[in-house]
Structure 1
Amino acid sequence: MTLHRISDWDDAYTNSAYIPGGSLYADRWKKLAADFRDEMGKAGRLQADIPYRAHHRNRFDLFLPADAPKGLMVFVHGGYWMSFDKSYWSHLAKGSLDQGYAVALPGYVLCPEARISEIVRQVADGIAAAAGRISGPIHLAGHSAGGHLVTRMVSTPTPLPGEVVSRIAKTVSISGLHDLRPLMNTKMNDTLRLDLAEARAESPALLEPIEGIDLTCWVGSAERPEFLRQNGLLGNLWSSFDVRLSSIEELGRHHFDVIEGLADANHPLVRTLLAV
């Protein structure tokens, strides 16, 4: 295998320019999510904007299945920790809901108002608050920056309470960023404000996993090379620990459509996440 030195880190983490119609995806997600929230609200199966901290972004939406929940799935959104909010992703709850799980989508304060280390603690509080409302196993999924955040939940030291950790049955990091140090070389760091100490402390690839976790790192085969590299890190670095690990490259998917499987109860992504 030939390794290539990256000289342009901004380009390495650019997605939209390499995806046909990339600039149209955000509006599409927002419309799909709004329609789904409307449908679920009319059915009485949405509890919206539940606070878990004082900030207006520290809210989560909780979607309920038609019958008693089998457990809880939590989806943490991406956007490089500095864009989007929970309202863009509601439709991705459908696959897990149709499998009988409640689904929580937490929001969080974005950079630069918050640092990544603070976002990690916020997301932990959001997961814990949702877990307090739904019993049973917990399944974590996150996309891009959200993939970092859910793998950070199962790294040590974890910011989650022990009683929540003991309920985590599965974690799936979708196109996750597991080593934050390269981001210090991008223009995004003007907003992220990462320094080396924080990058090291909050990179799952530089930490140890919680014993016994079950983790799948999932990425689209058509994604940027840096995301393919990041996807493989934990499988390499955590393989000597007492954990269950797998790494999947979904054929033909890119960074924006790789999450679409979450909306389909029978898609391999949902079946992997919920172990069905």
Structure 2
Amino acid sequence: MDQKTDLSDAYENGAYIPDAAGYPPRWASEAQAYRQRLSPAQKAVLGLPYGEEARHRMDLFLPDRTPEGLVVFVHGGYWQRFDKSDWSHFAEGARARGWAVAIPSYDLCPSVRIRDITAQIVQAVTIAAEEVQGPIRLTGHSAGGHLVARMGTGVLPEDVAARVKAILPISPLSDLRPLMETAMNANLKLDAEEARTESPIFHSAPRAKVTVWVGGAERPAFLEQAEWLEEAWGCARVVDEGKHHFDVIDSLADPSGALTERLLSM
């Protein structure tokens, strides 16, 4: 990799966030406690399969009444880290407002390519849509923001796509071409063709309403990525002042949180 074009630092988040290492264990602990709270009331359907492989599973969190519809949250981690069990508690904002919330795992790079993960999320959304009737709202964080944006680019079955009313990518990667100039591409294995195909900005805007959300204290590269998606799709963009890449998702866990409000009101 040419040192002059090395963008690794531009897309590095943890080094610029205080106590960055503390976030993943806190997420995992809060997620586990959340599942333990909902499971006795049979409001947590855990490990629902959407495919044949071990990670082709999702957790479905059910509201206390007939669901208003389905929310799907797709986690981030640069397509290389985490699984569904780290994020369960972020379902609570929408669940408490009467929505079922599905959180899928997916295979990770380098064992698969990003295009394979896109196909897996298509399958996860499709199976979740069979489980829950009504409108569908998609949200995801970072790499998950990329993946839910991709769901709006003609990859979903038509009957499922017609039910998608809102897409809320949070701190998404909307143009993957810069990632070819980072050290992580040793795992992502992006080439020019895949980077362009998998970049939401090179696809037409979805029929669904879209808001791209980004923290005001994020790395400049992520602020740019959000702006590029706004420009490409003519969609709304919210800059959440003071929030960095790890705490920008916090309000999804709050029924009256800003992200929950936007997701359910679009």
Contact 2:61-2:100 within 8 A present in 1 as well: yes
What is aligned with 1:128?
Answer: 126
Q: TM-score, normalised by structure 1?
A: 0.93
4+ runs deviating over 3 angstroms: none
Unaligned runs of 5+ in 1: 1-5, 240-244
Pairing 1:9-28 to 2, within 5 Å after superposition: 9-28=7-26
Deviation string 1:83-130 (CA, Å, 9 cap, x unpaired) is: 111110000000000110000001101111110001000001000000
What is aligned with 2:93?
Answer: 95
> 2:223 aligned with 1:223, yes or no?
no
> 2:262 aligned with 1:275, yes or no?
no
What is aligned with 1:263?
Answer: 253
> 2:185 aligned with 1:195, yes or no?
no
Q: Aligned with 2:131: secondary structure?
A: coil
Q: Aligned with 1:261: secondary structure?
A: helix
Q: Aligned with 1:154: secondary structure?
A: helix
Unaligned runs of 5+ in 2: none
Alpha-carbon offset, residue 7 of structure 1: 4.8
Partner AA of 2:70 in structure 1:
L
Identity %: 48
Greater share of residues in helix: 2
What is aligned with 1:214?
Answer: 209
Alpha-carbon offset, residue 232 of structure 1: 0.8
What is aligned with 2:47?
Answer: 49
- d(CA) in 2 for partners of 1:7 and 1:25? 30
- d(CA) in 2 for partners of 1:78 and 1:206? 21
Given candidates 179, 193, 198, the residue that maps to 2:175 is 179
- d(CA) in 1 for partners of 2:125 and 2:237? 24
RMSD: 1.0
Q: Aligned with 1:108: secondary structure?
A: coil
Partner AA of 1:102 in structure 2:
A
Q: TM-score, normalised by structure 2?
A: 0.97
- d(CA) in 2 for partners of 1:263 and 1:48? 19
- d(CA) in 2 for partners of 1:213 and 1:186? 32
What is aligned with 2:201?
Answer: 205
Contact 2:63-2:95 within 8 A present in 1 as well: yes
- d(CA) in 2 for partners of 1:55 and 1:223? 35
Deviation string 1:163-209 (CA, Å, 9 cap, x unpaired) is: 11000111000000000000000110000000000001110011212
